[in-house]
Structure 1
Amino acid sequence: MLGVQLVQEQRLRLSITPEIKQSLHVLTLSGQELIRYLQDAAAENPLLELEEIPFSPYRSARGTERLWHGVYDPLLQARRAEPTLEEVLASQIRIAIAPEEQKRAAVYLAGCLNGNGYLKIELTEVQSDLGMSINEVTAGLKLLQSLEPAGVGARNLQECLLLQIHRDASAVPHAAQMVQAGLEALVPFHPARIAARLGITAQAAQRAYDYITQLDPKPCRSIGSDESPHYVIPDAAVELVNSEMVLSLYTAGNLRVSMNEACSSWIRKASPGERWVHRAAEARAILRSMQLRRRTLLRVITAVLDEQKRFLSEGPDAIVPLNLAVIAERIDMHESTVSRAVNGKTIRTPYGMYTLKAFFDTGVKTLSGTETSSSAVKRRLKEIIRSESVNRPYSDSQLAAVLAEEGIVISRRTVAKYRDELRILPSLERKRWV
């Protein structure tokens, strides 16, 4: 028979408390995300206080690490909103010498351009909207296409390139003829074929092609961009002082997080209820999460830079292969914790801004038995291609052979992969005939 009985047993189970979840979440946030998180938390919890902090560097016992409380606000360098493309063109139309009806049509067409300066509306539709003749709308389009930058108001890429060529007094001969013949002949480009098609020499075709590739296919993309600028607040900064590494941690937007003493004292003395006790516990948990984040970041960044010591003195080419397991073992943390600490973090170095992930690179074996980073191999590959003969560019096999002579052993397929990642054309399309 089956029976029912009560059994008491003891088990060990790993459980993540809400406070641990909060600490892990705070650790994954970048500097800018942390600012928003703290501001939202302070808006919901009256016990939390945020205040600007003055310059007050803190140096740790090691003498090579410090916590930086200096005023660092990149938003002070932010530019004001730029005029839109429509406003830029309208200001040119206002001072143009043309009939008013033509100006009105040009202003309307300027408002119909996309972000790259192309007109994606039919002239018959504009004619219907404005109640003008097709000749007046066409005249307005010609006025629009005469404005700066050259190529604005084009209806397709071919017309955009032709507008730029016709406005350029130093345009290379046969460039307009080559564009009019069709853009499909330019990709891929073969000088002998296009020369035979147009009745010109291969050298003339190559010069015209080189000129065309310097034209801007999106002439208005930098004017009145709808995308807001992205400003990066570094989480840390590193520099060499007397051949010694000095690491500085930036606080989150120069904000000091603390608990309101008056509210805390009131809660302890008056015992207002469970709600306020819960709020106080939340505030203390956020403060502990911030302290843990700071300590973890300091340990992780210090370990990463110790592994990449040559980077500070020799530059990006000296980055060595590195993975999360090495850092995790060095600082006695789990790989997932190191991954969270590295995610989204930026560090200011003597060679510019770098993400922490940039210091974790795969390795490529060399003949000496050591390893070099794949990013260093890519930079060397780019240098070799930049110095090659334009008449006889290296094939992927030849590039692999040149790297092998320097002690870097990679296959032709790996060379092709790196070249694609660098957005470098194959040898046939890099070849120049002049």
Structure 2
Amino acid sequence: MIQMDARADQRQSQTLSPRLQHAVRLLQMSSLDFGIVVRDVLGRNPFLEAEEGDGEDESEGLRDGDIDSRSGEAAGEVYDGPRETDLAAPAQAEIDRSTASDSDLWLADGLTPARQGHDGDVSALDFMMEETPLNAHLHGQLGTMALSPRDLALAGVVVESLDDDGYLRTPLNELREVADVVPAATLEDLQIALKLVQSLEPAGVAARDVAECLSLQLGEIECPHVRAMARAIVNDHMDSLAARDVPTLARALDASVGEVEAVCDRIRHLDPRPGWRLSSSRVNYIVPDVIVKKDRGAWNVRLNAAVVPKVRINEVYAQLFQRHRCAENAEMGAHLQEARWTLRNVEQRFSTILDVSQAIVRRQRHFFEYGSMAMKPLGLREIADEVGIHESTVSRVTNNKYMATPTGVYELKHFFSRAMVSANGKACSGTAIRGLIQDIIEAESTDRPLSDAEITRQLARQGLTVARRTVTKYRQMLRIEAVGRRKRHDGLAVSA
């Protein structure tokens, strides 16, 4: 017989509300993605508006930072960023919001600088050069040639089949089905069209593999002897060229090692991706979130004003909504709540980034003074305990956030590494070991580069016990090639 009983079981668990989950995702975003999200909210929320300032002040803030703090000051006293009370400042201070009528509020809002506009204003986008895609560039060249409509159509089919690198990956037999010409295109017709497109600029376009792409660019080599050797290497010895096996190439071409080295160096100056010269894709440049500068012996950490969204609440709309609030305006109430939450999120995000950055600078002061060799081991928990936040929050803050220093731009995660104990018992960071490996390789002989095992032995002589596989991993992180590809002959450097 089945018996049923009821009992109370009390458990404690942590749950995240949807809004808190969204805040965590926003904190992990880069400043570029976060700015896109804020602009999206700004475009659909009537209570938010962009806060416009004097361009000269903004440029000064970009140079010196929006928030000034000494690395030794307390975190609670250094942040002077955008607070909600400042961002939500009234548009017209001379108007009393509590006594003004609806029409006065509306007219006052129309006089705010954020609402003013002129049809004759010229945007900076008007001065930007318009990009020409690769296919449009090639079609323009074809249009200047005396071609029959049939030949022009077949050449256009080839052009439209190129990928972003400028290569023709589609077999010509498949292009026959795409070409809508009468009579139907033959394989010979498409080969002629291919040769026609390959004669266009940039050189190397419409190639079907790397060897053909390089071969199409060999005409740029002026010396006939060097051009002939380069053609032989590209057509018959691509594997040896890729492996930088210069002695094998010298034996195959019956030439000296130094001569072959010079020819290989000239080949490496050719462009294996000619389509990138006219690629429509934009390069996403890194914009630092914080700027570190040394002033009067102290390292200053400042937020980059260019990445802080300048938004505020439109007090006119907020006042009008509060006066006429009713049950039918629940959606507008949600918009006002979202606007206030957005401002709090902006403030909390950049305040946390600044606090974490200050703690990093205080811990890694020797790195800023003496370089990567002075980097100390640092864990997320150390920064979390100092700032007073959770370790996972530090991990999210340092993700996709960058710091501009006098020696370069680094991701915040660059300053964290586990401790490696040396022979004398002192802790050493992985970043310092990578810097030492780079110095050892830069000082190696040009004709006898060091292997990873030899680098390991040199580190051991300096009191650092590092496994060979760790040296290999650090060398790959530094994007330094293996010993065989670093070898040089007769003092001639091989271009990467």
Instruction: Name the TM-score, length of structure 1 as normaliser.
Output: 0.80
Change in 2 beyond 3 A, CA 1:151/1:60? closer
Pairs within 5 Å for 1:18-417:
18-54=18-54, 55=57, 57=66, 59=68, 62=73, 65=78, 67=80, 79-93=128-142, 104=152, 106=155, 108-123=157-172, 129=179, 138-170=191-223, 171=226, 174-218=229-273, 220-250=274-304, 253=307, 255-273=309-327, 275=330, 276-417=332-473
* Gap regions ≥5 residues in structure 1: 70-74
Partner-residue secondary structure (3-state), 2:447? coil
| Secondary structure of 2:51's aligned partner | strand
C-alpha displacement of 1:418: 2.1
- Counterpart amino acid of residue 160 in structure 1: C
User: Are 2:68 and 2:300, in contact at CA under 8 Å, matched by a contact in 1?
Assistant: no
Counterpart of 2:394 in structure 1: which amino acid?
V
1:72 aligned residue: none
Choose 286-295 or 127-136, whichever is displaced more. 127-136
Contact 1:189–1:429 (Cα < 8 Å) also in 2: yes
**Residues 209/286 of structure 1: CA separation in 2 closer, same or farther (3 Å cut):** closer
| Residue ranges of structure 2 left out of the alignment (5+ in a row) | 83-123, 491-496
| C-alpha distance in 1 between matches for 2:218 and 2:261 | 16
Cα distance in structure 2, aligned partners of 1:216 and 1:160: 8
Higher RCO (CA < 8 A, seq sep 6+)? 2
Contact 2:247 2:257 in 1 (8 A): yes
8 A contact 2:290–2:403 mirrored in 1: yes
Alpha-carbon spacing, 1:20–1:68, altered in 2? closer, same or farther (3 Å): closer
Q: Amino acid of the residue matched to residue 245 of structure 1?
A: W
AA aligned to 1:34 is F
Q: How far 1:157 sits from its partner (Å)?
A: 1.8
Classify the secondary structure of the residue corresponding to 2:276. Answer: coil
Q: How many residues align?
A: 426
Paired residue secondary structure (2:277): coil
- Structure 2 residue matching 1:248: 3-state secondary structure: strand
CA distance, structure 1, for counterparts of residue 428 and residue 371 of structure 2 = 14
Deviation at 1:86, TM superposition (A): 2.5
Instruction: Give the direction of change, closer, same or farther, for the CA distance of 1:182–1:335 in structure 2 (3 Å limit).
Output: same
CA–CA distance in structure 2, aligned partners of residues 354 and 27 of structure 1: 19
Question: Is residue 422 of structure 1 aligned with residue 475 of structure 2?
Answer: no
Q: 1:277 to 1:395 in 2, by over 3 A?
A: closer
CA deviation map 1:78-130 (0-9, x unaligned): 9544212233334445556x766797355553343322222334556667835
Change (3 A) 1:48 1:107: closer
The one-letter code matched in structure 1 to 2:203 is A
Query: Alignment identity in percent?
Result: 30
Comparing 311-320 with 413-422, greater Cα deviation is found at: 311-320
Task: Work out the CA distance in 2 between the residues paired with 1:19 and 1:93.
Answer: 56
The CA RMSD over aligned residues, in Å, is 3.9
- Alignment correspondent of 2:110: none
Q: Is the CA contact (8 Å cut-off) linking 1:66 and 1:249 kept in structure 2?
A: no
CA contact (8 A) 1:84 1:223 kept: no
CA drift of 1:390 comes to: 3.2
User: In 2 relative to 1, CA 314–172 (structure 1 residues): closer, same or farther, beyond 3 Å?
Assistant: farther
Cα distance, 1:335 vs structure 2: 0.2
Q: Structure 2: how far apart are the matches of 1:367 and 1:387? A: 24
**What amino acid maps onto 1:397 in structure 2?**
A
Q: Distance in 2 between matches of 1:264 and 1:173?
A: 77
